[in-house]
Chains A and B, each alone.
Chain A
Amino acid sequence: QSALTQPASVSGSPGQSITISCTGTDSDVGSYNLVSWYQHHPGKAPKLLIYEVSKRPSGVSNRFSGSKTGNTASLTISGLQAEDEADYYCCSYAGSNTLGVFGGGTKLTVL
């Protein structure tokens, strides 16, 4: 049960768009459309942004969107804002016999 692979850091200027990738395997990301994304401001509770690859919970800005191709899921944030600066984690279902697996996290810096 290996962690999903995310870039350690990404950055962008206000108003720009950025994409964070999350690469897994045929056993997790590639087999299930059950990838979720979380935003984490240090010291606060992580917040669900995206579930089932591309669905947004009510109350989450439509600036956040998700997609998946093969074994790689992606989170795109458009119209970057200062408050988007945070850590972002992906998580994938990996089958009924195991727990889900998280990515290593990506630190987003808004320049």
Chain B
Amino acid sequence: QVQLQESGPGLVKPSETLSLTCAVSGGSVSSGSYYWSWIRQPPGKGLEWIGYIYYSGSTKYNPSLKSRVTISVDTSKSQFSLKLRSVTAADTAVYYCARYDYGEDYFDYWGQGTQVTVSS
């Protein structure tokens, strides 16, 4: 059974960088059939796909966040990471990591999510 677990600071100051890591167990981030994704849910709003990374390192980002986002992968540690720069209160959200099966076009495994609040 694949499991994903997000970790990182729950509080980030405005203008700083939000950094989260997703540890993958029961499966490998080197698997060639998946996009390793970050998704977020601001309070009272729906889900927003931030972007994804393929095991090779290729990425795709949401155009609305592209200038501030970097997703990276560490296959040796079986984890992938999110960095969101120059955060504001609008970046306050629950952040989820998830595995996207691009052959079937669905998210088959998700983490439980981690709350990140942007506040001074």
**Interface residue ranges, A against B (CB under 8 Å):** 1, 3, 6, 34, 36, 38, 43-48, 51-52, 57, 89, 91, 93, 98-105
Contact = CB atoms under 8 A, between A and B. Distances in A.
A43 B41 CA distance: 12
A45 B49 contact: no
Contacts of A105: 46-47
B98 to A, nearest CB: 8
Given A99-B62, A103-B46, A45 B111 contact: yes
A52 B49 contact: no
B112 A44 contact: yes
A4 B49 CA distance: 13
Contact of B108 (A48, A93, A104): A48
Given A3-B46, A104-B46, A52 B105 contact: yes
B26 interface: no
A99 B51 contact: yes
B62 A46 contact: no
Chain B interface: which size bin? 20 to 34
Given A51-B105, A93-B105, A101 B49 contact: yes
Contacts of A45: 4, 96, 109-113
A104 B41 CA distance: 10
Given A1-B63, A52-B104, 4 more contacts: A48-B108, A51-B104, A93-B105, A102-B49
20 contacts: A1-B62, A46-B96, A46-B98, A46-B107, A47-B110, A48-B107, A48-B108, A51-B104, A51-B106, A57-B108, A89-B46, A89-B47, A91-B106, A98-B63, A99-B62, A100-B49, A102-B48, A103-B46, A104-B46, A105-B47
A101 B105 CA distance: 12
Contact of B105 (A36, A102, A103): A36
B60 interface: yes
A102 B106 CA distance: 11
A99 B47 CA distance: 12
A52 B106 CA distance: 8
Contacts of A100: 49, 105
